[in-house]
């Protein structure tokens, strides 16, 4: 088997966890790494992960990724937890190994090879239980530090929003120095929203230029729960941010938005899979990309509406701006509708920067590059403006 499955000295090796890891390994071995023939991965080719050099990332205690607003911050480096906030009202944060009874319940391990692999390594991560109304956003600051070797790390979070709870969680992926290794960051977030709870989940993916970043957000939403997400991807060589949402009861709602900006030679993948299981559920997706160089943007979006799920609405829009002739976009929207009285739509469009607009700006003295940047900003702001928190919205505008 691949060197991706190595023997590990787990910190916590309880019988329950041993069983979970074993099941996960079986699920992974059944599938193996995705190949060109794997339908769910047909646009995003996993390249060099079987390389013999990949090793578990060593423990390093660096911090980074400042934000210009007040927040509760958890520092994570090379997949190790470096520091945590002291007690925060409305939230319990524990190691993931204490969430054994919740593991693997939000997605099917046999459909997600990387999540299965993540399960095999399960040892580090966070069990975040939100019980109240969080005053400040909680930030998970993931950091990688420079090394010559190719490392991998696996990180798992279980996030539970208890009934009526409300929180903002930001995940931030950064690196330090000149990071040229092809590390793999493999993240799984298992998220449950209980009745009437609200979770705003924001993510900034700014990995080093040769990195592989694979993330699964598996979200289960109960009655009147609301999940709002936005993910900005602008780093890594191969990155996939995948969101699986199950709207399990009436009034459940999900917003799954994203933006990506890529130059050079990279693949940025946004994959969504949204299940409307009950009537009166709602989902919306807007993803916008800006792709230059020889980069490739991938959007796969599925909306599934179960037979009983009447009076639901599911909308999806993907738009991309191509900055070069060699940039590529692959889009696969899928609507599976088995109910009546459903409002569903999907749309996709891609184009280039508008020449008339560029000329107009330049004719007023604005330099060509600056003019392009203004147009790109405007293009992306359109989706960033959907973020409900003003401070975080402005922060994302400054990041892109």
Partner 1 sequence: MNAPLLEIEDLCAEVGGKSIIKDFNLTINEGEVHAIMGPNGAGKSTLSYVLCGKPGYKVTGGSVKFKGKDLLSMSVEERAREGIFLIMQYPVEIPGVPSTTFLKHAVNAIRQHRRQPELDTMEFLKLVREEGRKLGIDNEMLKRAINVGFSGGEKKRMEALEMSILKPDFAILDEADSGLDIDAMKIVAESVNRLRNEQRSMLIITHFQRLLNYVVPDFVHVFADGHIVKSGHKELAQELEQNGYAEYVREK
Q: Which residues bind partner 1 (CB under 8 A)?
A: 355-357, 359-368, 370, 374-375, 377-379, 381-382
Shortest separation between residue 369's beta carbon and partner 1, angstroms: 10
Tell the burial category of 214 from Cβ atoms under 10 Å away from its Cβ (0-12, 13-18, 19+): buried
State both tokens at 191: 């998220």
Q: CA dist 369 to 264, 273, 343, Å? A: 17, 37, 41
**What CA–CA distance (Å, rounded) separates 133 from 128?**
14
Nearest CB to partner 1, comparing residues 177 and 351: 351
Nearest CB to partner 1, comparing residues 6 and 385: 385
Nearest CB to partner 1, comparing residues 349 and 378: 378
Nearest CB to partner 1, comparing residues 110 and 370: 370
Nearest CB to partner 1, comparing residues 142 and 379: 379
Shortest separation between residue 363's beta carbon and partner 1, angstroms: 5
Shortest separation between residue 365's beta carbon and partner 1, angstroms: 4
What value, to the nearest 5°, has the Cα angle with vertex 83 and ends 162 and 64? Answer: 110
Tell the burial category of 146 from Cβ atoms under 10 Å away from its Cβ (0-12, 13-18, 19+): middle
Nearest CB to partner 1, comparing residues 5 and 378: 378
Nearest CB to partner 1, comparing residues 68 and 101: 68
**What CA–CA distance (Å, rounded) separates 288 from 257?**
8
**What CA–CA distance (Å, rounded) separates 318 from 321?**
10
Shortest separation between residue 359's beta carbon and partner 1, angstroms: 5
Nearest CB to partner 1, comparing residues 110 and 352: 352
Calculate Rg over the CA atoms of the chain. Answer: 21
Give yes or no for a contact between 262 and 297, defined as CB atoms under 8 angstroms apart: yes
Please name which of 353, 389, 396 lies closest in space to residue 373, comparing C-alpha atoms: 353
Shortest separation between residue 366's beta carbon and partner 1, angstroms: 5
Strands 342-351 and 312-322, by their bridges, are parallel
Q: CA dist 390 to 67, 69, 75, 197, 253, Å? A: 14, 11, 24, 20, 21
Shortest separation between residue 357's beta carbon and partner 1, angstroms: 5
Nearest CB to partner 1, comparing residues 275 and 379: 379
Give yes or no for a contact between 136 and 71, defined as CB atoms under 8 angstroms apart: yes
Nearest CB to partner 1, comparing residues 379 and 395: 379
Shortest separation between residue 17's beta carbon and partner 1, angstroms: 49
């Amino acid at each position: 088997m691949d060197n991706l499955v190595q023997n590990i000295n787990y910190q916590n090796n309880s019988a329950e966890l041993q069983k979970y890891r074993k099941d996960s390994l079986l699920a992974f071995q059944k599938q193996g790494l995705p190949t060109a023939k794997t339908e769910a991965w047909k646009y995003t080719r996993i390249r060099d992960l079987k390389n013999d050099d990949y090793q578990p990332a060593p423990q390093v205690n660096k911090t980074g990724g400042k934000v210009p607003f007040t927040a509760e911050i958890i520092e994570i480096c090379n997949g190790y937890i470096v520091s945590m906030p002291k007690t925060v009202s409305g939230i319990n944060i524990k190691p993931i190994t204490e969430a054994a009874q919740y593991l693997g319940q939000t997605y099917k391990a046999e459909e997600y090879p990387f999540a299965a692999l993540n399960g095999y390594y399960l040892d580090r991560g966070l069990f975040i239980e939100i019980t109240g109304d969080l005053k400040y956003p909680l930030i998970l600051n993931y950091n990688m530090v420079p090394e010559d070797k190719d490392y991998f790390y696996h990180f798992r979070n279980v996030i539970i929003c208890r009934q009526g709870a409300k929180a903002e969680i930001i995940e931030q992926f950064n690196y330090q120095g000149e990071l040229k290794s092809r590390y793999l960051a493999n993240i799984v977030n298992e998220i449950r929203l209980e009745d009437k709870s609200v979770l705003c989940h924001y993510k900034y993916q700014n990995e080093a230029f040769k990195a592989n970043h694979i993330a699964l957000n598996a979200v289960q939403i109960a009655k009147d729960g609301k999940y709002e997400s936005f993910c900005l991807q602008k780093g890594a060589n191969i990155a996939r941010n995948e969101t699986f949402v199950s709207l399990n009861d009436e009034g459940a709602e999900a917003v799954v938005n994203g933006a990506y900006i890529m130059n050079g030679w990279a693949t940025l993948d946004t994959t969504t899979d949204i299940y409307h299981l009950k009537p009166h559920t709602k989902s919306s997706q807007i993803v916008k990309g800006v792709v230059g160089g020889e980069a490739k943007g991938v959007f796969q979006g599925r909306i599934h509406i179960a037979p009983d799920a009447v009076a639901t609405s599911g909308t999806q829009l993907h738009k991309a701006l191509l900055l070069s002739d060699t940039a590529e976009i692959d889009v696969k929207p899928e609507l599976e509708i088995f109910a009546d009285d459903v409002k569903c739509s999907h749309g996709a469009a891609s184009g280039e920067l508008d020449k008339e607009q560029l000329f107009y700006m330049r004719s007023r003295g604005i330099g060509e590059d600056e003019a392009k940047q203004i147009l790109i900003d405007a293009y992306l702001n359109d989706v960033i403006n959907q973020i409900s928190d003003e401070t975080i919205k402005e922060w994302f505008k400054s990041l892109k």
